[in-house]
Amino acid sequence: MIEASLVILFVVSTLIGLLASYGGFTRFVFIFYLKMVVFHLSILLAAFCALFGTLITYFYNEGCIVAMNSFNFICSFWLDIDFEIRGLEKIEEASGSENKPVVLISNHQSSLDLFTLSKMWPSKTTIMMKNSLKYVPIFNIGAIMSNSIFVDRNNKNNAKEALNDAITKMKDKKLKVWVFPEGTRHHQHGLLPFKKGAFNIAVQAQFPIIPIVISDYTPFYSKKEKYFYSGGKVIVQVLDPVSTQGLEYNDVCQLCENVQQKMGQVYEKISEEAVNKMKIKPVVVNERDSSYEKIKVG
């Protein structure tokens, strides 16, 4: 514990030195970096804790939920973000008592998504992630023990093989899989064009798709502007399942467009609602300085 504290102190002190030498240093910038350091240390700690839990839950195909619960437990102590999850029951209803496979898709904004997902992670669910994460120490072992599906997006042949393996794993182990169809983090407002991998899985295997929309983080968090305010509000809306029964490969493009359009509409609606429910109202002064003002709630 003492050694860990010293490491954290060293990292924070180094950041202070770097920021102090940069003209844009403010207490809001410092708070941003401090929170991000602690956030990523929380990820490593949760992954370390999950290593032991997944030794048991791996055989029940519940490895991922151990990591998510550990991360939620750790971050809930210090991250002041209010979550409102709507329609969560739709996931289990679509899967049913037989634990039928389901493809879950959501927008991807930042590493903060991990905290959002930990607030609502369904049973018997794994996640699809980029292949490079397979080589991150500690994290990779927890990911493998959680039945995570790795995809090499730079190699089409490997990616196609990974999708086929994903279908086999989902059928054999009765797993749900969580996919970010944007393919990368989008730190700005709105959604990036969807990639078709998740839709190809769903159509090829005739699995239902459940779109999940997460409201915009930028009212309280921005990597570009370097602010991370307390009192943020996040609304997550689980939409009705989208059937793929009878659909074929040629239908994938239209299916992808329809789902993205619906998710985009919901994203705009709940993002505006989340801003109105926030405890604070951020006011960005310029790219190197940020401030905020308290507003009354209720």
Per-residue tens of pLDDT for the chain, all 298 residues:
434 544 554 555 555 555 555 555 677 888 888 899 899 888 888 877 777 777 776 666 666 788 888 889 999 989 999 999 999 999 999 988 888 999 999 999 999 999 999 999 998 898 888 877 777 776 777 777 777 888 777 667 777 787 888 899 899 989 999 999 998 888 888 899 999 999 999 999 999 999 999 999 999 999 888 899 999 999 999 999 999 999 999 999 999 999 999 999 999 999 999 999 887 665 444 443 444 444 433 3
pTM of the prediction?
Answer: 0.83
Positive/negative CA dihedral, 111, 91, 213, 153: positive
Cβ(177)–Cβ(103) below 8 Å: yes
Q: What is the 3-state secondary structure (H, E, C) of 67-80?
A: HHHHHHHHHCCCCC
pLDDT tens-digit map of 78-122: 999 999 999 999 999 998 888 899 999 999 999 999 999 999 999
pLDDT of residue 70: 87
Q: How far apart are CA 191 and CA 216, in angstroms?
A: 10
Q: How far apart are CA 272 and CA 262, in angstroms?
A: 16
Domain architecture of the chain: domains with CATH? 2-290 (3.40.1130)
Report the DSSP pairing between strands 209-214 and 232-238.
antiparallel
Q: What is the CA radius of gyration of the chain?
A: 20
CA angle 191, 196, 199 (to 5 degrees): 105
- Residue 78 CB neighbour total at 10 angstroms: 11
Element of type H or E holding 130: strand 125-130
Cβ(154)–Cβ(129) below 8 Å: no
Could you tell me how many residues make up the chain? 298
Q: What one-letter code names the amino acid at 52?
A: F
Residue linked to tokens 């005739």: 206
Cβ(171)–Cβ(134) below 8 Å: no
Mean pLDDT of the chain: 83
pLDDT tens-digit map of 230-263: 999 999 999 999 999 999 999 999 999 999 999 9
